[in-house]
Chain A
């Protein structure tokens, strides 16, 4: 019995070797799906592990709050809020930093370090050097990338403009912080290490500079295990209200963490959606090839049964074939997936600032991938396997009944009469097995769809940029002021060299509330006739800034569950901290963030103030840019300056690096998918038709003519798959965009004609390559053998 079984296994190995090209094509599709799944799962795991470890080791706070100024002794009352484990205060502010050879003003967040060394919460990781010595007013620790982007090493110096006073400090340490894994400046949408960074200094220095002796303007809390942060946040808000509290928020809303969590979620979405497509195709391919193998081995199956092999033994024999192919796919997929996961993390390490990367994928990701692959292929081959084992031996040893063709209404039509016989053969065959035809078509279409999905990301990014920087805003530079100033600051700004147009707007921190849902969100106050930065709807274009209410973005409207005409509660968290009821007068669509816009007059009225602005929007004559920057650097009230072009360049630099790599990887995967489907379709067509094709060769048909019959079928499928593929691509892109939409970003669905065209060309090129490979086999058809055997 052992001898017989090993004979079966030898047969299995030889069968696999005979089918190696087809088996490999399927294994590669499985490998692509497994690789995608493993990449996403391990990246998700690694991102989660890395952030968790980082947060844990460096005690990232659970709750954060900023305020205008509170006495240090308030800390004792904060510590008594139920659920608070530790609380720590600090002084944080924005400052302008001057790097000698960088022409633009650079802003930085200055964070105080306690006198005794590293903070208890939000501890920094020193990458080089040391913390400032106690009492030293001229020492600072610089954020790692901030220092690197300006070429500042330990011992280098920078000048910092704090509350109008310029002081030169020596860099004694280079550091990272769990608070600033993803660091973006106020109003920016991307990190820009050259123009915005972090600086840590001794608390005494900052107490002096900002008039904060025995006071603080930020507090961070950790909570005892299992504490719900919401009641703590409420209690903290109550406590800080009279000190100008700008609304406490949990770790989930901490900006850097929000971006990281967002990325983790996207990896999760990725892990679910895309591998599913590959697995579906793998299932179909396995079904196709096993169906063929079993059809060809009918007689042998009958023979095995006649010898006394059980149904289960026969089933297991063919199942082993499926498992061998799947196993190969899983192995290749695991190797590629691990490599891609690691590579993915190095890409994240360029965007996110981690002091270390935990990439130690556990067995779970691989186990899930293996399970999914096996389920797909075994499920896919189930029908074929069942047919094999259920065949009675006597029937199995007889050849199958020939396929019955029928003349359809189409064959008798005038159009059909004009057709030549080879074309008729192609069409009859396609029509004879509509399910197989449909699946092959769908397989090619899905490869195209995956490619369209990957390639349209570039289109969406372009659309986002166009909307954000060219339609919604027309200023060259956005200058934020340290504090709100009366409107006549516009006259000062207009007098700066090179300024052609200047407009102002006001941003205030507020909380918007509707029924029991509240969100902390800045409100932008816009002036009448704002042309540089109008109220812009992504679909409808510029809208007038309405008076007497708020205009909110659709995403915010969805979060709060409100519509135009509803009344919301606004708690302004600055100035006199009014709490007012205002109607929603406009809802507008944006791709980035969840902005709330009001007319400046309405906002000022609510705040019981005369109109003030804290942001200047400027159009600058490019010829005078240097003079403009020099003048700006000397102005004391300037917080930060963002140049539109710099942001766009930065955006594209980041996007190009990451996106192009992924488009490349997806192109390879899509081509693998297309190759798997087309190559197998062709090989099976060849196997099923080699008799016909050889007969035609005998009858005097040339190689080109029989190639037409074999390849024409795939050609028709491929061409028919193009519109289906583009449609599937659009649906898939829409689905992914919906899944990836967050409060921070919504990806617009745009597929340019060029993108669809290029994707089509790539897939059709894959079809042609497959066709050329298979066509070579036509040259070796055995013309004599087919004449001697019954079909």
Chain B
């Protein structure tokens, strides 16, 4: 736990409303993001698809959560709503006690800009910008960012600053995406299948980077995956099926990414 950050949060306006909750393991951590009663229904022609049904979830400061579940279980919908990319049909998402969904689109943009970092399965890098420039894209609009070089060396890419995405391997591209996500010092890092498009060896490097960010920077991290092995490196594992959370398990001992194989 990053103590300084906690003090900072407590001192901020929102901090007064920070809910003190008890995690499954019984330790007391501040809640960074809290979802209550989330329901998401998509209307597709005449068919209604219920992607999320009455979901409650808290993400605690500095923890590493893995969301597991089969295709169509609602993982991505949940992550998108938590990240301010989508709005729930009913229910609310509180970031430091403030409802993010009741706000305007401009406010959601500010929320994403200032507090959330995203990593996607297909990296979503800008092909016309080099690694450094892709990171600079975000640091230019952030309030207190790392230097792009610093962020890239955190993910082990300090040597490949001036390469364009097309000149990087998939794993390298994903690590650039991670550097881009963390360079703004986000409060929350949301990763949707970050290793989905990678082989296990490169996937490992990416997981290492995520683990390091979580450990060294204390960034609250939520990772969606199909891969149950990855759950072993999480503080908690949250399983979804048919739009509902079916279980939340706490890992007594987090495995390091190096110890894992799949």
Interface residues of A (CB under 8 A from B): 402-407, 420-422, 424-425, 428-429, 432, 691-692, 695-703, 705, 783-784, 786-791
Contacts and interface: CB of A to CB of B under 8 A. Distances in A.
A402 B85 contact: no
A787 B193 CA distance: 11
Interface in B72-88: 76, 80, 83, 85-86
A790 B125 CA distance: 11
B112 A788 contact: no
Contacts of B141: 700-701, 705
Given A402-B166, A421-B136, A791-B122, A784 B127 contact: no
A695 B176 CA distance: 14
B14 interface: no
B85 A698 contact: yes
A424 B85 contact: no
B95 interface: no
Contacts of A787: 85, 118, 120-122, 124, 192
B109 A421 contact: no
Contact of B129 (A425, A783, A789, A791): A425
B195 to A, nearest CB: 15
A699 B137 contact: yes
B110 interface: yes
A402 B86 CA distance: 29
A407 B161 CA distance: 12
A566 B80 CA distance: 90
B124 A404 contact: no
Among A402, A700, A789, A790, chain B packs the most CB atoms within 10 A around the CB of A700
A698 B134 CA distance: 14
Contacts of A403: 127-128, 166
A701 B112 CA distance: 9
Interface in B105-132: 106, 109-110, 112-114, 116, 118, 120-122, 124, 126-130
Given A421-B137, A691-B124, A702 B106 contact: yes
Contact of A699 (B129, B133, B138, B197): B138
Nearest to B134: A421
B165 interface: yes
Nearest to A411: B130
A227 B113 CA distance: 88
Interface residues of B, number: 38
A784 B126 contact: no
Contacts of B122: 787-791
B140 interface: yes
Interface in B42-85: 76, 80, 83, 85
Contacts of B118: 698-699, 787
Contacts of B167: 404
Nearest to A694: B124
Contacts of B184: 700
Contacts of B244: none
Contact of B114 (A406, A700, A789): A700
29 contacts: A402-B165, A403-B166, A404-B167, A405-B128, A405-B164, A421-B134, A425-B128, A425-B129, A429-B128, A432-B128, A695-B124, A697-B109, A698-B124, A699-B112, A699-B180, A700-B114, A700-B141, A701-B109, A701-B141, A702-B109, A784-B76, A787-B85, A787-B118, A787-B120, A787-B121, A787-B124, A788-B121, A789-B122, A790-B197
A687 to B, nearest CB: 15
Nearest to B85: A783
A402 B167 CA distance: 10
A696 B137 contact: yes
Given A784-B80, A788-B121, A421 B140 contact: yes
B162 interface: yes
A432 B110 CA distance: 32
A404 B129 contact: no
Nearest to B124: A695
B169 to A, nearest CB: 13
A421 B139 CA distance: 10
B140 to A, nearest CB: 6
Central interface residue in B124, B138, B197, by most chain A CB within 10 Å: B124
Given A425-B126, A699-B113, A787-B118, 7 more contacts: A405-B127, A425-B129, A429-B128, A691-B124, A695-B126, A696-B126, A698-B118
A629 to B, nearest CB: 75
Nearest to A425: B128
Contact of A404 (B106, B134, B137, B164): B164
Contact of A405 (B80, B106, B136, B166): B166
B162 A421 contact: no
Contacts of B197: 790
B76 A424 contact: no
B166 A404 contact: yes
Of A407, A699, A705, A786, most B-chain CB atoms within 10 Å: A699
A424 B133 contact: yes
Nearest to B181: A699
Contacts of B126: 425, 692, 695-696
Nearest to B116: A700
Contacts of B128: 403, 405, 424-425, 428-429, 432
A692 B120 CA distance: 13
B82 to A, nearest CB: 13
B226 to A, nearest CB: 14
B162 to A, nearest CB: 6
B130 A407 contact: yes
A700 B192 contact: no
Nearest to B80: A784
B216 to A, nearest CB: 22
Contacts of A424: 128-129, 133
B77 to A, nearest CB: 9
Contacts of A789: 122
A100 B256 CA distance: 114
A700 B112 contact: yes
Contacts of B130: 407
Interface string B164-184: 111100000000000010001
A789 to B, nearest CB: 7
A519 B9 CA distance: 99
A405 B86 CA distance: 33
- 9 shortest A-B CB distances, which residue pairs? A700-B113, A428-B128, A421-B137, A700-B112, A695-B124, A787-B120, A790-B122, A405-B164, A402-B166
A421 B122 CA distance: 21
Interface string B133-164: 11011101100000000000000000000101
Contacts of B76: 784, 788
Contacts of B180: 699
A553 to B, nearest CB: 60
Nearest to B118: A698
Nearest to A790: B122
A407 B114 CA distance: 30
A458 B166 CA distance: 55
B120 to A, nearest CB: 5
B166 A421 contact: no
- Counting chain B CB atoms within 10 Å of each CB, which of A405, A432, A784, A786 scores highest? A405
A421 B133 contact: yes
Contacts of B85: 698, 783-784, 787
Contacts of B112: 698-700
B76 to A, nearest CB: 7
Nearest to B112: A700
Contacts of A784: 76, 80, 85-86
A386 B86 CA distance: 42
A429 B114 CA distance: 28
Nearest to A429: B128
Contact of B109 (A425, A700, A790): A700
Contacts of B140: 420-421
A403 B125 CA distance: 13
Given A424-B133, A699-B138, A402 B127 contact: yes
A403 B192 CA distance: 25
Interface string B224-250: 000000000000000000000000000
Q: Indicate the member of B86, B122, B126, B184 with the most A CB atoms within 10 Å.
A: B126
